[in-house]
Chain A
């Protein structure tokens, strides 16, 4: 169930909170450690760098097949890996504008957590 593992990432998962460097303004995601970094909520806007459609899933994701995983270039500079949602595989093109949305990432079972976090969808 890994409660602590999911709890400690809640800000990053739910609101795309990363870090900004206090001196030069560089934005990072996932969040960085160290006093030179301050919390920073990213806009969620980005561009699709690449994607793949998964048909053979690892345990825990069987019910989602087929699903799309993607790497998104966020406007602030970092890149992020996430699933694509709210679109068919035929709607997807490299370079298209996408935005972050909070979705159910998984269900860890009757005694566990419902995991929420970021996915990306086409900007309409």
Chain B
């Protein structure tokens, strides 16, 4: 392999409906924070992850604008679009650039600005990860794809919709302590049960809100130079799958998540049970259920039982969504993969809001659509 790669400084904005701010403003804010936290590390290149800017007809080619605003006029820039996997893809590309020796330091920014448009346009943009001609044409939304999988899961494994509530309840409980979360209030399983349907069987309280935000990470060949613990990117993996659900051999198997993760763990020379804390793309409970099963934490059809056991809490054996998950931290789509690295780096540095005790290995996995692209990173504290 090539030389080791580290996470230096990080930065992020709160997730919210930032009416007064542009994507450029949010992105520059996060990037400046990360740069200030990484002294004496001149940036060689800037990679920007953004899923929906072009799809919403608002802004493409944002990277050079961010470069200028952050005082990096002229540097190499790269825009990455890949739905909810964009952030992870940008982290990976930065890692590869630094590992190869081409650059010592690459800045990564993930940004999403969705609040300027109404729901109907946003749903069209999110549905672009579906097969446009053979799914999107029929009015299939990303949420309805997850809803179809939830319906099948409930049928195949005799699981009730109420059994999924533990996931959004847990997510909201974790977000209370997270200053950058979109929603910082707890919810109850009863509230989930009585919430209105968005795409039956997915109700309002089991559907994440897509919101605005930006996160930035400085990827470097030099370990972070202050008192903070060194965090190394030990593994990185990407995998793909058919974009249309009807092309999948097994509807309930997130193959790309499984493959991307096994590639990342293999590179890190670690096993899934070595992971102390994780984060995933989880806008709905069914996402977490299928991801936990794809990661091998629990057999097919049993993840709701794992959730009910309390294992998913900060004190448990499979703690995730510690900043609130997509549901309560907010779903920042293309920026998610970068938020995850910022949040899990805080865990490994011992400064997280819902700190997992003695966490030295973290895993971030994010995906586009129904895991048609999945990206996994393994971080280790050294």
- Pairwise interchain contact A52-B199, C-beta atoms closer than 8 A: yes
> How close is B53's CB to chain A, nearest CB, in angstroms?
18
> B246 contacts which of A67, A80, A89, A115 (Cβ < 8 Å)?
A80
The answer to whether A97 has its CB under 8 Å from any CB of chain B is no
Find chain A residues with CB under 8 A from B246 CB: 71, 78-81
The stretch that binds B, out of A19-27, A35-43, A54-62, is: A54-62
B244 engages A57 (CB within 8 Å): no
Residue of A nearest to B121 (CB): A59
Question: In the complex, what distance in Å separates the CA atom of A61 from the CA atom of B120?
Answer: 9
CA distance A45 to B101 in the complex (A): 58
9-residue interface stretch from B106-114, B148-156, B218-226, B352-360: B148-156
Q: Is the beta-carbon distance between A54 and B251 smaller than 8 angstroms?
A: no
Q: Which residues of B contact A78 (CB under 8 A)?
A: 246
Q: How far is the CA of A11 from the CA of B147 in the complex (A)?
A: 30
- Docked-complex contact A69 and B148, CB < 8 angstroms: yes
Q: Given A52-B201, A57-B123, A81-B140, do A94 and B245 touch, yes or no (CB 8 Å)?
A: no
Known: A51-B151, A71-B246. A57 touches B134 (CB 8 A): no
Mark B88-131 against chain A: 1 for CB-CB distance below 8 A, else 0.
Answer: 00000000000000000000000000000001110110010001
Residue among A55, A94, A115 making CB contact with B200, cutoff 8 Å: A55
Number of contacting residues on A, CB 8 A? 35
Bound Cα distance A85, B244 (Å): 21
Nearest residue (CB) in B for A70 is B148
Alpha-carbon distance between A106 and B247 when the two chains are bound, in angstroms:
24
Q: Does B311 contact A (CB under 8 A)?
A: no
Cα(A61)–Cα(B246), bound, Å: 21
* A107 interface contact, C-beta 8 A: no
Interface range for B: 35 or more
Residues of B within 8 Å of A81, CB to CB, are 131, 134-135, 138, 140, 244-246
Residues of A close to B202: CB separation below 8 A: 52
Asked if A71 and B198 make an inter-chain contact with CB atoms under 8 angstroms apart, the answer reads no
- Residues in chain B near residue A102, CB distance under 8 A: none
Complex interface: chain A residues within 8 A of B196 (CB): 55
Among A56, A66, A89, chain B packs the most CB atoms within 10 A around the CB of: A56
CB distance B137 to A54 under 8 Å? no
A59 to B124, CA, bound (A): 6
Q: How far is the CA of A6 from the CA of B123 in the complex (A)?
A: 21
**B135 closest partner in A (C-beta):** A81
B139 within 8 A of A: yes
Rounded to whole Å, the gap between the CB of A42 and the closest CB of chain B is 13
Q: Residues of B contacting A54 with CB < 8 Å?
A: 139, 141, 144, 199
Residue ID in chain B nearest A118 by CB atoms:
B138
Residues from chain B with Cβ under 8 Å of A89 in the complex: 200
Partner of A50, one of B127, B136, B149: B149
Report if B197 contacts A (CB, 8 A). Answer: yes
What residue of chain B has the Cβ atom nearest to residue A9's Cβ?
Answer: B133
B241 vs chain A, min Cβ distance (A)? 15
B145 to chain A, nearest CB (A): 8
**A-B CB contact pairs (8 Å), 15 listed:** A9-B133, A52-B147, A53-B197, A54-B141, A56-B141, A56-B198, A58-B127, A59-B120, A59-B123, A60-B139, A67-B139, A69-B139, A81-B135, A81-B246, A94-B151
4 nearest interchain CB pairs? Answer: A52-B147, A58-B123, A53-B200, A79-B246
Given contacts A51-B148, A53-B147, A54-B144, 18 further A-B contacts (CB under 8 A): A49-B152, A50-B151, A52-B145, A52-B147, A52-B148, A53-B197, A55-B197, A56-B141, A58-B127, A58-B141, A62-B120, A71-B251, A78-B246, A81-B131, A81-B135, A81-B140, A83-B139, A105-B137
